[in-house]
């Protein structure tokens, strides 16, 4: 059987730069900027992705020739959220609130040894923060 390894999550945004800056402000993500190459869906357009928690999150603009649907209403099927771990969820939630984050749920005890919160991000993307003890 082939070996599969994680590569990236792909978000779509009407303003990829603004979405990347939100993740930078809220979670300290590193923004990587470039230009899409010839032969891609977005030739010569700005290319933005972020490094978040050691992972790559691509942020694409509107599709070049297909209409883009509105964000889904929570809860929904499909990719629902990005999860990040923290050592102190209460401190993280206070930090995020101070930065203007919309904390949709929590922090709350989820199960023995697990506390979590959900932050509402751009274009309906939720970010879960989890503290495991």
CATH number (domain holding residue 23): 3.10.180.10
Task: Say what the pTM is.
Answer: 0.86
What CA dihedral angle connects 66, 68, 69 and 71, to 10 degrees?
160
Establish if 45 belongs to a structural domain.
Answer: yes
State the residue range of the domain holding 122: 81-132
Considering only CA atoms, give the Rg of the chain: 16
pLDDT digits (tens, 9 = 90+) for 65-110: 777 777 777 777 777 788 999 999 999 999 999 999 999 998 998 8
Number of structural domains in the chain: 2
Confidence bin at 4 (pLDDT 50/70/90):
low
Spatial neighbors of 14 by CB under 8 A, at least 6 apart, are 61, 62, 68, 123
Spatial neighbors of 29 by CB under 8 A, at least 6 apart, are 20, 23, 50, 51, 52, 57
Establish if 76 belongs to a structural domain.
Answer: no
């Amino acid at each position: 059987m082939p070996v599969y390894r994680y590569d990236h999550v792909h978000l779509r945004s009407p303003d990829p730069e603004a979405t990347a800056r939100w993740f930078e402000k809220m979670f300290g993500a590193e923004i990587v900027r470039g230009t899409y190459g010839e032969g891609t869906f977005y030739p010569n357009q700005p290319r933005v992705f972020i490094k978040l928690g050691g992972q790559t999150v691509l942020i694409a603009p509107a599709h070049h020739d297909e209409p883009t649907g509105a964000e889904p209403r929570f809860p929904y099927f499909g990719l629902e959220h990005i999860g990040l771990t923290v050592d102190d969820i209460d401190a993280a939630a206070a930090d995020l609130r101070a930065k203007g984050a919309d904390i949709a749920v929590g922090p709350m005890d989820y199960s023995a040894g697990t506390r979590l919160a959900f932050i509402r991000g751009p274009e309906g993307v939720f970010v879960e923060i989890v503290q495991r003890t």
